Structure 1
Amino acid sequence: MTTVKEREAIQQQFKARMDEDELLNCMRCGFCLPSCPTYIESGFQETHSPRGRIALMKAVADGLIEPDADFERSLDLCLGCRACETVCPSGVKYGSLLEEARDIIANNKSYSLPVRVARKAAFSGLFPHQNRMRAVAGLIGFYQRSGLQTAARKIGFMSLLPEGLASMEKILPKIPPMKELKNRPEFMPATGRKTMKVAFFRGCLMDTMFLETNDATIKLLQLAGCEVAIPDSQACCGALHGHYGEKESAKELAKRNIAAFEGTGADYIITNAGGCGGFLVEYGHLFQNDAEWHERAEAFSSKVKDLSEILLEAGFLEKVTLELPGQIITYQDSCHLRNAMKSSAAPRELLKALKGAEYREMNEADRCCGSAGIYNIIESEMSMKVLDSKMENVKDTHAATIVTANPGCLLQMKLGIEREGLSKSMRAVHIADLLLEAVKKETLAIQ
């Protein structure tokens, strides 16, 4: 709950920092409404739509309303999926408005002690430090392998946790031993004739909890003829910081990444996580008012590509044979891969190339699954509403395999499978893992 003084400071900052032209760019046409999950799941409440949120931001900036608890709640409930941007006839940059608004609020209000501690621990103490990420992942791995996980489930300890956390515990991927987490490559040669040199953005969660997916990604790039540089000095992409009111911290992480990749001499910077990629391609916007870093940020972002895009460009389908007999597969778009990186066709082209498999397009595959970074933890009720609607569309495909291109989406779809009791007949996999699974084994002799 904000004080009067805090609300006055927030209002002043809205007037000074919010982009007036962008706020006015919204014509209130309502084209965004059918694309907004929270508008639909809230029972068509205008304040939980993009149009409604922009109107509220404008009203706060103009001093017509106070930035009270209801206003904050409207912004908090937004998934930030940016589906509204793809259908907006005026091209409103809603994502930028949302991030700026959240940053203003976060930096001008007093959080309770538990929230302050949690934010500091996550945004300052954990994500910026890959060694700490590895340590946390290592503890989870020990919990999984030591028998503690089995014992905790057997004695019913999980029932003491909040439902969301208990459910997430069930779907966590198997964490490799600490030795594997630490011994990460910095360079991998192309398999066969080299077609290009790429640099791989390994990510923080991806290179710990989803280590096998990162390894699969590197192998696929090698098979495509890519020489792969993996700079060790890279950092977290900063997306969570940027989305949750920690813009200055996001900039510091971005600077580390820009500097880390500038010396690689790579043609492209490859990511296998749509959430990371959606933020990486907008580093230029992050530094739009910074003369020293803007040009370097733009140069960095211009090289960022998703794994699926680069595999097609490098002729991957001509170099390998992909077989996945007898499976029905469907694809769930990563919101930021589709809406920020503008990539939706490439993953589907790769999946349709799997011999023996049947690809079925899911209804509303472009609608958010409800993961949205840490949204499924902090806004569990709305997240589960969005997920339940998504799973109805999944079941209509009768697919045995749901493919995603983002770790958050992957965990969310696994959670949906668990909630629906479908774990024996359905699985969720990252596209990199599925493609490597489908590569004929004789082509997997990576040197």
Structure 2
Amino acid sequence: MIEMTKREKAIQEAFKERMDETELLNCMRCGFCLPACPTYIETGFDETHSPRGRIALMKAVHDGLISPDDDVERSLNLCLGCRACEPVCPAGVQYGHLLEDARDIFNEYNRHSLPIKMVRKTIFEGLFPHQNRMANAIGLLSFYQRSGLQKATRKIGFIKLFPKHLRQMEKALPDVPSRKTMKNRPTNLSANTYQFKAKVAFFRGCLMDTMFMDTNDATLKLLQKAGCEIVIPEGQNCCGALHGHSGEMDKAKELAKRNIDAFENTDADYIIVNAGGCGAFLIDYDHLLKDDPEYAGRAKEFAAKMKDISQILYELDFHKQVPLSLKNQIVTYQDSCHLRNVMKTFLPPRALISAIQGANFREMEKADSCCGSAGIYNIIESEMSMKILDHKMEKVAETEAHTIVTANPGCLLQMKLGIEREGLSDRVRAIHIVDLLLEACD
């Protein structure tokens, strides 16, 4: 019999009660997931950092064969959650759901230090669920950039006090809008073409409608050009992905319910999202709320309407009906893991880019492998993240691309960081696909 502490026994019991044993047993240990897993490769083929290895650990904890100790938790936390293992799994194991449930259990029984408790409470309760607070926080960043404070901190060398990757990340940040600009957001927009094609509801996101507000505006303009009437529900909030991936499942469910409430009376044909990470979590609401008698059916209807912006533009033949052209350049595409692996969207962005006159599209080798961003992973697991990014930039270099396109804010910042790390900022750019398409329209 394995000896366990009181805490470990509580975690083991929670695994037994709450983990999906059928899903754990579905893993055949075949190994098809191994070549798709970034952490397995970067750790020198360590099985404990592979999908099947982590599932084996979960099952062993569930069965009481091993203690849910720090090594088990470390293995789970080092996972990027990219879910690249799912499309290649012949048994269709929903690894992402298992990972989130396991992390949620560990977090419930963790004894965080006071500083970490305060940081988690600030982020998960005080900031992301409240769009006005997000706008205020990004407004401070805008002041930092526009007031001359950014130039001053660089000039006096204060920024050098931070680790190298954080200094590079600071350089890669986009120019963000002012707080005043973020206040005046639209709620309804009509199609600006003679032919109406669809009524869509737009999920604006938290970071996307503040730090990346220009990309949201570009998305709305493209939808209008494509013949869409747009409604942007005011009651919507953060998708909950950051909470769900970080072991804050109850808060994620609360946010999901608010979004369902906000969107279900819009009478929209589709719900459109322009951030792969958000889209993957939104489309999983039916799983997240499957045990909630009030919301299970409503969550299923919500999820059925979800589409990425590239998917809806492709389906509406935007690239065939709107002239697209740019000055001659080599363009490559970095998949958003969640957009490809969860939302199953990979052809539409490539078709849209290839339709641009002057854009010489070159497929990047392993474009579907994670860039190392993974939400806040590049901050809390910077060493692993930078290893993955450096290998990604090697593949970018092979394409000789002038422009790297992606479809998720985290990926975009990570690719900008990669450009900065490689000293390529004077000749290579990273851009969100909707910004590229709008540029090609003008």
State TM-score, norm by structure 1: 0.97
SS at match of 2:411: helix
1:396-415 pair list within 5 angstroms: 396-415=398-417
* Equivalence for 2:211: 209
1:272-421 pair list within 5 angstroms: 272-421=274-423
Alignment-mate amino acid for residue 152 of structure 2: A
Cα displacement string for residues 318-357 of structure 1 (whole angstroms, at most 9, x for unaligned residues): 3310001211000000000000100000000000001111
Return 5+ residue gaps in structure 2 as ranges: none
In 2, Cα distance between equivalents of 1:112 and 1:382:
24
Q: Alignment RMSD, CA only?
A: 0.8
Q: Are 1:247 and 2:236 matched, yes or no?
A: no
Superposed displacement of residue 4, structure 1: 2.2
* Equivalence for 2:9: 8
In 1, Cα distance between equivalents of 2:181 and 2:147:
17
1:184-263 pair list within 5 angstroms: 184-192=185-193, 193-263=195-265
In 2, Cα distance between equivalents of 1:371 and 1:99:
17
Contact 1:323/1:355 (CA < 8 Å) preserved in 2?
Answer: yes
* Equivalence for 1:53: 54
* Equivalence for 2:144: 143
Superposed displacement of residue 40, structure 1: 0.3
SS at match of 1:164: helix
Q: Are 1:126 and 2:127 matched, yes or no?
A: yes
Cα displacement string for residues 98-148 of structure 1 (whole angstroms, at most 9, x for unaligned residues): 000000000112111111111111000100000000000000000000000
Superposed displacement of residue 386, structure 1: 0.5
* Equivalence for 1:182: 183
Cα displacement string for residues 1-26 of structure 1 (whole angstroms, at most 9, x for unaligned residues): xx922211111101111111111110
Contact 1:202/1:230 (CA < 8 Å) preserved in 2?
Answer: yes
1:162-173 pair list within 5 angstroms: 162-173=163-174
SS at match of 1:324: strand
Superposed displacement of residue 166, structure 1: 1.9
Superposed displacement of residue 185, structure 1: 0.3
Return 5+ residue gaps in structure 1 as ranges: 442-447
1:143-162 pair list within 5 angstroms: 143-162=144-163
Alignment-mate amino acid for residue 390 of structure 1: K
In 2, Cα distance between equivalents of 1:319 and 1:184:
28
Contact 1:223/1:319 (CA < 8 Å) preserved in 2?
Answer: no
Alignment-mate amino acid for residue 424 of structure 2: L
Alignment-mate amino acid for residue 209 of structure 2: D
Alignment-mate amino acid for residue 297 of structure 1: A
SS at match of 1:329: strand
* Equivalence for 1:104: 105
In 1, Cα distance between equivalents of 2:270 and 2:359:
31
Contact 1:199/1:270 (CA < 8 Å) preserved in 2?
Answer: yes
Cα displacement string for residues 350-392 of structure 1 (whole angstroms, at most 9, x for unaligned residues): 0000111100000000000000000001000000001011000
* Equivalence for 1:445: none
Cα displacement string for residues 249-286 of structure 1 (whole angstroms, at most 9, x for unaligned residues): 00110011001011111100000000000000010000
* Equivalence for 2:75: 74
In 2, Cα distance between equivalents of 1:105 and 1:315:
46
Superposed displacement of residue 421, structure 1: 0.5
Deviates more, 1:34-43 or 1:311-320: 311-320
Cα displacement string for residues 271-316 of structure 1 (whole angstroms, at most 9, x for unaligned residues): 0000000000010000111111000000001000000110122221
Identity across aligned pairs (percent)?
Answer: 67
* Equivalence for 1:444: none
SS at match of 2:261: helix
In 2, Cα distance between equivalents of 1:30 and 1:89:
10
In 2, Cα distance between equivalents of 1:16 and 1:264:
38
In 2, Cα distance between equivalents of 1:162 and 1:183:
36
In 1, Cα distance between equivalents of 2:14 and 2:349:
41
In 1, Cα distance between equivalents of 2:117 and 2:167:
24
Superposed displacement of residue 177, structure 1: 1.4
How many residues are matched? Answer: 438
* Equivalence for 1:271: 273
SS at match of 1:429: strand
SS at match of 1:64: coil
In 1, Cα distance between equivalents of 2:354 and 2:309:
16
Contact 1:410/1:428 (CA < 8 Å) preserved in 2?
Answer: yes
Q: Are 1:24 and 2:29 matched, yes or no?
A: no
SS at match of 2:358: coil
In 2, Cα distance between equivalents of 1:19 and 1:329:
43
Cα displacement string for residues 182-220 of structure 1 (whole angstroms, at most 9, x for unaligned residues): 100001110112111000000000000000000000000
Contact 1:271/1:307 (CA < 8 Å) preserved in 2?
Answer: yes
SS at match of 2:119: helix
- The structure 1 segments of at least 4 consecutive aligned residues displaced by more than 6 Å after TM superposition are none
Alignment-mate amino acid for residue 84 of structure 1: C
